[in-house]
Structure 1
Amino acid sequence: MSWTPCLLLVLGTLCSCSIAQYTLTPRVPSVSVASGVAMTLSCTISGLPSIESKYPTWYQQKEGTAPVKLVYSNGASASNANNRPAGIPARFSGSVSGTTMSLSISAVQAEDDADYICQVHHWEGSTLH
């Protein structure tokens, strides 16, 4: 097997009208890995006790294209953090623990060279942060 480097960049996003109140931080901002290697990307949010019910979602964005939803939670619990839209390969999986959300890729492919965006939705009353 030939060694093909893939650059994966994690971008933390949080829709917020008061961004200073909550911070979503990637654990490792960027990483380069060989094709076929398993890896996990993580983001941690501060300012909330848990994100399990905050609809954590991972997106993949390739240069010049719109983000594509990879894995998401329906917001019910951490055990539901691994939903994939139709057409997303099973090598992508998600998990949530407390304030950390993770995206695992079981065998990185050259086509996975992209930016990865972690996102949560936090509601207070009728306001989305």
Structure 2
Amino acid sequence: MDEAEWCDRIAIMDHGQIVALDSPQALKAQIGTDRVSIQTDDDDAAIAALHARFGVQARIADGAVTFGVPGGAEFVPRLFAELDLPIRSVSVSRPTLDDVFMSYTGTSIRDAEEDQSKHKNRVMMQMMSGGRR
């Protein structure tokens, strides 16, 4: 999605509908949170603890427990102090356009492209086997 960074405006579509239209910078600013990723020995326990302790909705993405918080760099010391689980690594990043896409659609661009590819393959297989079912 790097080329989208150079656009004046981009549209985010979900199920054939435009759900957002603005400049890349404005779309990223609308998220309002930094992305924090942590690696632990027990991701499920980390997700539950993050929700219970901080009210954060976390998920597993790219092999790490990932969640959004305002002021991610300022949040990390509190995370280490209050999370009762060993943290092997932590990273903080500003929102990306993939984060924006996920916030509007609930899925990553990679997952959406994979789902679209699977759908095309199913349609092609149906056509090759004699028609639609």
Structure ranking higher in helix proportion: 2
* TM-score (normalizing by structure 1): 0.28
Higher relative contact order (CA 8 A, sep 6+): 1
Structure with the greater alpha carbon radius of gyration: 2
> TM-score, normalization: structure 2?
0.27
